[in-house]
Amino acid sequence: MSNAVKVFFSYSHKDEDLRDELATHLSLMKRRGFIEAWHDREISAGREWANAIDDNLNTADIILLLVSANFLASDYCYDIEMQRAMERHEAREARVIPIILKPVDWRDGPFAKLQAFPKNTKAVTTWQDKDEAFLNVVQGIRTVVEEMAKSKTSSTASETTTAATSTSLATSGGITDSQRRRLKQEQDSLQQQYDLVSTKLGKLREAYLIETDTANSSRRSPLTVKRCKSTQILHMLTITWG
């Protein structure tokens, strides 16, 4: 499922049995395609484990910190995975959710400010029924998953709409056929106006030249010159403005 929320388990291998139980309780969300859960036991043979962990940690939408004394004592869990998880959380790139597996003093940890599960941060192993504890944890995770799924769907819809609009504009050259026809009509109208003005200016220029030539002619009488000039100019103006 393309919009599935990616979930990363950060845990101590000494707590692997509890991680497995939590993963089991998340099975329905996995089957429905709401989440894609990953932990380091899924690293395939021959692949560099550190790179595989980094790749998945850096692309996860939700990072589960499975907190216990073993987790806090692990240099890799605390100094690398947890620190990177908090960096991405602060940058709003991912959501970090602490899951308190076993009783431990965690209140001074960098993640202590975050909402932790189970309810009232009561460690999973202290519940009379662990299934009930994990149910509470999964319900909290589901709420976050639903929020993220809605956000992803909205983002995908927006990108699809933008891409469709861009494609439509590129196909039509940015304008519709109706707009193209209207622009062509306006262009033709402007060309006709330009041609008309050019013709009138040409006629006026000819009239001016006739007046100048007539005035400079010394071989005609003043009366003849005046009559000729008036007749020619009147003829030119009649053609120009008529």
pLDDT digits (tens, 9 = 90+) for 54-81: 999 999 999 999 999 999 999 999 999 9
φ, ψ of residue 35 to 5 degrees: the values are -135, 160
Average the pLDDT over 120-132 and give the result: 96
Check residue 138 and give its pLDDT: 97
- Judged by average pLDDT, the poorest of 25-29, 199-203, 205-209 is 205-209
Q: How far apart are CA 63 and CA 82, in angstroms?
A: 9
In this predicted structure, the answer to whether residue 175 has a pLDDT above a threshold of 90 is no
pTM: 0.64
Model confidence at 199, pLDDT cuts 50, 70, 90, reads: confident
Phi/psi of residue 136, nearest 5 degrees: -60, -40
**pLDDT-derived band of residue 49, with 50, 70 and 90 as boundaries?**
confident
Q: Which pLDDT score is estimated for 120? A: 94
Contact 26, 138 (CB under 8 A): yes
Tokens 């769907």 belong to: 153
Task: Report whether the peptide linkage leading into residue 98 is cis, meaning its omega lies within 30 degrees of zero.
Answer: no
Pick the closest to residue 63 from 53, 73, 75 (CA basis).
Answer: 53
The better pLDDT of the pair 49, 93 is held by 93
The encoded tokens of residue 83 equal 């620190």
Ordered alpha helix ranges (H), 15-129? 16-25, 27-31, 49-57, 69-73, 75, 83-90
Which of 114-118, 171-175, 202-206, 227-231 shows the lowest per-residue confidence on average (mean pLDDT)? 227-231
Region 92-117: what's the mean pLDDT? 96
Q: Taking residues 160-172, what's their average pLDDT?
A: 53
Least confident of 14-23, 36-45, 107-116: 36-45
Asked if 24 and 11 count as a contact pair (C-beta separation under 8 A), the reply is: no
What confidence category does residue 242 fall into, taking pLDDT thresholds of 50, 70 and 90? low
* pLDDT band per the 50, 70, 90 thresholds, residue 151: confident
pLDDT of res. 50: 82
Give the CA distances from residue 190 to residues 11, 17, 80, in Å, rounded to whole numbers and listed in that order. 76, 82, 71
Find the range with the poorest average confidence among 45-54, 117-126, 169-178.
169-178
